[in-house]
Every structure is written in C-alpha cells, then in structure tokens.
Structure 1
Amino acid sequence: MVVGHVPVRHAGAVSSGEFRKSRTGAHRDFFAAEAAGLRWLAEAGGPVVEVVDVGADHITLARLASAGPTQQHAREFGAALARMHGAGADRFGSAPAGFTGQMFIGNRPMPSTPTEHWGEFYAHQRVLAFVDDAVAAGNLSRADESDTREVCALIASGVFDDEAPPARIHGDLWNGNVVWTPDGVVLIDPAAHGGHRETDLAMLALFGCAALDAVIEGYQVVYPLRDRWPDRIPLHQLHPLAVHAAGHGPGYGVELGRAARKTLELTP
C-alpha cells in the first residue's frame, strides 16, 4: 500500500536474478504471510513475482526488470487478474491455503476469520478493524467516524451481498504493487485472501493504475462485471482508506468519510 508498507532493508541482488528484503525483528509471520500469498495467487495463474526463499527476517524474490506500460500488457493483465479471482477461496476472509499465521496489509496486522457472507466480513474485518486506530490517531473526525460506522452497519446487514462466491484477491492492489516488465505485469506485496473481485479493481482505481481502461477491458473479456460496478467503487475503497486513515494523516480520514457517504447513497 502506497504509504503503509513496513520499512525493510533492501539488500539488492542476492544473485544476478534475485532480490532480497529483510527486516530485523520482524513478526515471525510477516514475510511468511507475503510468501504464502504470492504462492497461493501463483497457483491460480496470477502474474506474481516468484518466491525464491523465505525466512523469519527476510524474503528473497526473483528480480524484475522494469518497462513502460502498454495497452496490450494492460489487457493481458486484466484477463489474468480475472482468471486469478475466479480460482476462488474457501470463504470470505480465508487466508492463503495452508497458512495459519497472522496476516498483514502493509505493516498492519489484518484480521482474517473466514466468514460465509461478504458484507459481514468486509464491514468488520476490512473497515471497522482499522477505525479505532484512525480515531486514536486523530485522523478521523467525529462526523466521518459516525458515517463510516453507519455504512458499516449497512454493509454488514448484507444489503450489498451478491451471489458471487469468494474470489482469490491480491488484497493490496495499489499501483505500486503493479510492476510493468518487458513481458507484462507482475504483481508484488499481496495481502491475499478470499474477498470480492471488485475490491481489487477499486484499489487500482484509487491509486491510479496506468492504462486502467485497458485493464478493465481485458478483465471483462474473461469475466463481465455486474451492472453499475463503477458506482460501487467507493464501497470497495472503504478498506484501503480505513487502513491509511489509521496511520497516515487526516486526509485519508476525510476521504474515508466521503466514500462512506457515497456508499450510503447506494442504498437500495
């Protein structure tokens, strides 16, 4: 996430084709969660960076070459993202298969209790889980907090639930985690879990992914999105905005309140 990632020491190339990140005193699950997420997404055909090695205080990844975005690579990325989502997860909030430790988004612990209904999961584990910290940090006004809690009660009631099964999502898909290479897009730094397809797409929109129209075009070739999905973007941006409001300034609290009010306007 754009300003939420934990500081790590980048050791550079371990070999000509590898890149190592390390952090002394890291939580025992910090790098393990990243590796588990990458491998889980890769199993679904996700265009993710290869994990070479992982330990308690480091992760070693394949080194990526950079290139500018192209329309063709954007469409291919969108199609691959749709297929990855379609691989699914056991339930909403499910962690990567086989991983039972603490999950993170950036440097923040992220709850992950599998739940049958998306709205209940999303409201409590992806938005409200970060609201108290945002209030304590002075980054969320009383009015914006009230609107956020009101919309979370609405979301938890199931009014925005649909028939879509849990998707296998990246979970932290801001543009900084979308690496454009000569061979196409490669994704890094996931907070992978069972969630809603539109959450990944909303985060791409929030942080300005390059060639986003082409990404969506490629996505819809594989999986046509539900009617009025752009109207629901503020709903799915509540999560990243809440995470940012928890520790990165009152501007994010203002945006969280604005997204909450836009979502309240969607009430059927």
Structure 2
Amino acid sequence: MTARQAAERHTGVRAATSRPLGADAAVVTLEDGAEVVVKRGQGSGATMAEAAGLRWLGEYGDVPVPAVRGHDDTWLVIDHVAPGTPSREAAERFGRGLAALHARSAPAFGSPPPGGPGEAWIGLAPMRNEPHEDWPTFYARCRVRPYVREAARQGLFTAGETAVFDEVCDRLPDLSPSPEPPARLHGDAWSGNVHWAADGAVWLIDPAAHGGHRETDLAMLRLFGTPLLDHVLGAYDEAARDAGTPLAPGVEARVPLHQLFPLLVHAVLFGGGYVAQALTAARAALRA
C-alpha cells in the first residue's frame, strides 16, 4: 500500500496529490481539499501508540494536536497542520496549555495512553510503558537502565562510566523532588515536535505519550533550542502557581536528570557527542 492509498483507506476520500515529508511520511491532498499527513510506523505498535497518544493528549484541548483520521499496523493518517512562525503570544498560550495538560494526570507513572501498547516508541527507539507506583522506580527501570545497558553493549560506555548511571538510578529517590501525581506527558517534547502553526497556535506532534513527571517535558523543551522558551516556561510557571501546583524548588538543577533519557536514546541511536552529553548529564544530576 502507498501513502496515497493509505490516505484514501482511512479518510474515505480520493487522493489528488502527494508530496514527501521526510523519509517515511507524506502530505496527501484529498479531492475535498483537505490535507493529511500519512506516516509509516517505525516498528510494531508504533502507529497504535502514536494514535493513542494524540487522542489522549487532545482529549481536553489544552494544547492542540492533529486529529487522527485512522491507522493500521503500518500507516497512521492525521490532519496536516500548516506551519507558521513563532510569536510571544503563542509561546505563552502554549506554556499555559501545557501546564493544564500535565494537570490532567495519568493513571500511574509509566502508564501508556488508553488503548496504547506497552511496547511503544520514541523516534526510532523502542520504549517500554509499564505502570509503576512511583516515578524514581519507573524512570530507572524503564527509561535509564535499558538504554545504559544497550549503550554499554555497543561499547559506548566503560564499566566505570556505566557505574555513574547506576549511581543515579540508585539515588533517584533522593535526587527527585517531593512526590507529586503522575502527569499526562507528551514524552518527546523537543523543539521539532513543538509545531508553530499558521493559525497562530503551538501544536504538539509526534508524541511518545505516557504518565510521568511533568519536569521531564519541560527539560525536553530545553534540550534542542525551543523558540521563545523563556516565555513558554514563564507562562507555565505562572499557570502552575495559579492552580496551586507550583513546581518544586530546584527545578533548573534537575534538568540534567530529566534529560538523561533523551540523551541516552540519542547515544544509542546516533553515538557521537550524545555519549559524552549523557555522561555529563548523569554527573550533573549527582551534583544537584
């Protein structure tokens, strides 16, 4: 099946044209004038996980996400959102919306979205979503240790370097802030998945959604240069305070701890400088 055929199957409308959107996606224009993005899943359960994540994140409309038109084992079809340019107003509205989204909560730390598989994906890497009673246990077991083991298997970390990550995992109950309820996370909120749209809003795309700690999404926003980030975080902080759920003191010092997971994923997938960055983040987390 081609992307055009997948679009027709899941929308019930004939395709007029299509154009590539990266290696495994296309924008298909339908005969009724609508545009959809057709994505090929990266592995087993990928399309189901993304579809479930988009529906879960979009349930209350706190932050706009593309509507899911349909999916199968191979293809995901969602509405196309025309790109725009960053603005302060959009950044602040996004910050407030993200605070509201996180406050919607989740059944447990590590819980997948309703209808989503436990075996999910973050980009090109597999990711396990499994409910846990507390964040430190979940983060160590499902987010840090599996990727450290894989990196060590690839020869990216020495035994001594691996021990640094083990110490972080062992000390997580002390390194993390006071317990708070699991948040409804996007899970992969780097700048490429923060979509500044032509309608003047910020949309979230390509989620790796799960129940987690809200500081994880905020740390991911910092990782690769989200535009107008100070305005996003300032509006988030104000909204959280107004709701009576301010972030715990020391949130900036904990950024390396929450960035460990995406840095380890990048190290496993791409090697290079991400290996050193992950180790630097682990050491910084221990000093926080």
Q: TM-score, normalised by structure 1?
A: 0.90
One-letter code aligned to 1:167: A
Q: Is the 8 A contact 2:82 2:197 kept in 1?
A: yes
State the SS of the aligned residue for 2:254.
helix
Q: Shift of residue 77 of structure 1?
A: 0.4
1:202-217 equivalences in 2 (<5 Å): 202-217=219-234
Q: Shift of residue 141 of structure 1?
A: 3.8
Q: Is the 8 A contact 1:118 1:196 kept in 2?
A: yes
Deviates more, 1:190-199 or 1:124-133: 124-133
Match of 1:82 among 99, 109, 126: 99
Q: Is the 8 A contact 1:133 1:247 kept in 2?
A: no
Q: Is the 8 A contact 2:178 2:248 kept in 1?
A: no
Unaligned runs of 5+ in 2: 1-21, 241-245
Q: Within the alignment, does 1:96 sit opposite 2:113 as a pair?
A: yes
Deviates more, 1:39-48 or 1:199-208: 39-48
For 1:101 and 1:205, locate their aligned partners in 2 and report how far apart those are by CA, in whole Å. Answer: 27
Match of 1:55 among 51, 72, 88: 72
For 1:11 and 1:216, locate their aligned partners in 2 and report how far apart those are by CA, in whole Å. Answer: 32
For 1:22 and 1:184, locate their aligned partners in 2 and report how far apart those are by CA, in whole Å. Answer: 23
One-letter code aligned to 1:43: E
1:42-191 equivalences in 2 (<5 Å): 42-45=58-61, 46-155=63-172, 157=173, 159-182=175-198, 183-191=200-208
Q: Shift of residue 163 of structure 1?
A: 2.6
Unaligned runs of 5+ in 1: 1-6
Q: Name 1:240's counterpart in structure 2.
A: 262
One-letter code aligned to 1:9: D
Q: Shift of residue 8 of structure 1?
A: 4.8
Q: Within the alignment, does 1:31 sit opposite 2:47 as a pair?
A: yes
Q: Name 1:10's counterpart in structure 2.
A: 25
Match of 1:201 among 194, 214, 218: 218
Match of 2:276 among 235, 251, 254: 254
Q: Is the 8 A contact 1:139 1:250 kept in 2?
A: no
One-letter code aligned to 1:66: P
For 2:29 and 2:76, locate their aligned partners in 1 and report how far apart those are by CA, in whole Å. Answer: 11
Q: Shift of residue 159 of structure 1?
A: 4.6
Higher RCO (C-alpha under 8 Å, 6+ residues apart): 1
Q: Shift of residue 136 of structure 1?
A: 2.1
Q: Within the alignment, does 1:227 sit opposite 2:249 as a pair?
A: yes
Q: Is the 8 A contact 1:33 1:103 kept in 2?
A: yes
For 2:114 and 2:105, locate their aligned partners in 1 and report how far apart those are by CA, in whole Å. Answer: 11
Provide Cα deviations, 1:86-123, integer angstroms capped at 9, x if missing partner: 00001100000232452111122211110011001111
Aligned residues: 258
State the SS of the aligned residue for 2:76.
strand
State the SS of the aligned residue for 1:11.
strand
For 2:46 and 2:89, locate their aligned partners in 1 and report how far apart those are by CA, in whole Å. Answer: 34
One-letter code aligned to 1:231: A
Q: Is the 8 A contact 1:8 1:21 kept in 2?
A: no
Larger Rg: 2
Provide Cα deviations, 1:23-56, integer angstroms capped at 9, x if missing partner: 38x5341101000000000014232122112111
